[in-house]
Amino acid sequence: MQNWRINNLISCRSDDVKLSEGLKLLRSRSTTGTLAAYDELDFGELLQFRQIFCQEIDDTINGSEPFPGEMLKPSKNRVALPNDVYKILTDYYNSAYDHQFLTIAESTSTNSGGSIVVPNIVNQFARVRIAAEIFGSAMSPRYLKNAYILAKFVQENQGNETTDLYPGQVQYYFEHTIRISGEPTTHLLAFIRWYEPAPNRHIRFYTSIDENENNSNIELWQNNFYDLRRDCLIPIHYIYSRFVSCNFVVGKKKFVSYQAVIPINRQFHI
């Protein structure tokens, strides 16, 4: 009835110049600005990406899923991974799929029947665009300030699952293609070095008020990286946000320098 009434009023005032000019504001327009980044995906694909981002999906995410963005230059094509990262990539596939994956060296020294040999060639990228935000990496010093990211990890704590944000520095992004069940599948992954946590929660949440951890979103972390491990490779879908890093000194007699992690939150509009 409301729509009918509006149409009736418009038809009766079709010669009204001001009304005609005002109706132009109601015409559909092409999306501009940051929201235009979502036009490339249909609603189902975008909803899936948001569920991945918010960890509202139980499926295993392997990095081959669509996402609202693209890999950006500078880039290097057909680069051989270092042996330690190559081994981590093989471990990554063994965790993501119900197949057995082997390195090239392992396939020559063991019986590789039924196993999938992981190629050691990737295309590296210094930047990636996710929705409307650009993430950099240490691969290009020009974009190093955008290389600091946060990602969510599920933690097992006394039988309960909790999520925690970990800060890291992206070394580079890469796409890797491998044949799974006879079909070539391309994965978009990020190689990240993760920072070690502060020695205790009091230092980690040093800037909180009245020892309430929820009063401040600034956390203190060490400046050192964890050793390389399987978690250093994650799908770019799991990148939560960027953060600003700055030096923070704690202590009265003995001063200790930590890294202050200040998140830059991003939101998805669906």
Give the pLDDT confidence of 209-237 residue by residue, as tens digits: 777 777 778 999 999 999 999 999 999 98
CA distance 245 to 72: 23
Residue 270's pLDDT is 41
- Segment 137-144 shows an average pLDDT of 92
Place of tokens 């132009």: 24
Angle at alpha carbon of residue 201, lines to 196 and 206, rounded to 5°? 100
Side-chain-side CA neighbours of 92 within 13 Å: the count stands at: 25
- Segment 125-144 shows an average pLDDT of 91
Helices (H), the chain: 2-12, 17-23, 43-53, 83-96, 104-109, 201-204
Q: Percent of the chain scored above 90 by pLDDT? A: 53
Mean pLDDT (the chain, rounded): 84
CA distance 26 to 125: 42
Residue 164's pLDDT is 85
pLDDT tens column, 98-130: 999 999 999 888 777 789 999 999 999 999 998
Q: Specify the range with the lowest mean pLDDT, choosing from 36-40, 60-64, 143-147.
A: 36-40
Residue 166's Cβ-count burial label (10 Å; 0-12, 13-18, 19+) is: buried
Q: Please indicate whether residue 203 or residue 23 has the higher confidence score (pLDDT).
A: 203
- Segment 202-210 shows an average pLDDT of 87
pLDDT band at 42 (very low <50, low <70, confident <90, very high): low
Angle at alpha carbon of residue 90, lines to 166 and 197, rounded to 5°? 20
Inform me whether the pLDDT recorded for 80 exceeds 60: yes
- Domain regions of the chain by residue span: 32-264
Q: Please indicate whether residue 104 or residue 55 has the higher confidence score (pLDDT).
A: 104
- Closest by CA position to 194, among listed 160, 161, 147: 147
